[in-house]
Amino acid sequence: MADGPVRDGARNRGATSIADRVVAKIAAQAAREAVGAVPEGGSKPHASVVVHREIARVSVSLDLDYPSDVGRQCGAVRSRVRTRVEELAGLEVHEVTVHVERLHSAHTRHATPRGRLA
């Protein structure tokens, strides 16, 4: 009974793979969770992912409010993205790169441009 149902079942189970675009969506949502609200006039975070042999490298782009502790926020994003991708996708995350696209200042958000006539 060497080829019984248990051994055949284990051999035929296959594997689960998660598309890179799905992992990118998980990463973008995790970045949103880490920074809280999107700055007024800003874009929500987006991510790209490269997965090779169950190892993910993630790149996140986002806008932040200014003034703020940019380094702390980027660290929180890296930590949250790594944790959520590992938990939800079952991948090892070896790298999370955070790109701050824009800083949005509450002081300049509602100001009118100088030198323009109304």
- 10 Å Cβ neighbour count for 3? 8
Q: Averaged over 29-42, what is the pLDDT?
A: 93
Percentage of the chain beyond pLDDT 90 is 66
Compare 93 and 1 and report the one with higher pLDDT: 93
> What pLDDT sits at residue 12?
64
Strands (E), 26-114: 46-52, 55-66, 92-105
Evaluate if residue 2 carries a pLDDT over 70. Answer: no
**Domain residues of the chain, as ranges?**
35-105
Beta bridge mates, 104: 65
- Residue 16: per-residue pLDDT: 76
Each residue's pLDDT tens digit, 62-76: 999 999 899 999 999
Range of weakest confidence among 8-17, 27-36, 99-108 = 8-17
Q: 35-105 maps to which CATH number?
A: 3.30.300.20
Residue 4: per-residue pLDDT? 53
How far is 24 from 91, CA to CA, in rounded Å? Answer: 12
When pLDDT is cut at 50, 70 and 90, the band that residue 118 belongs to is very low
Q: What is the mean pLDDT of residues 22-30?
A: 98
Structure-token pair, residue 27: 């990463």
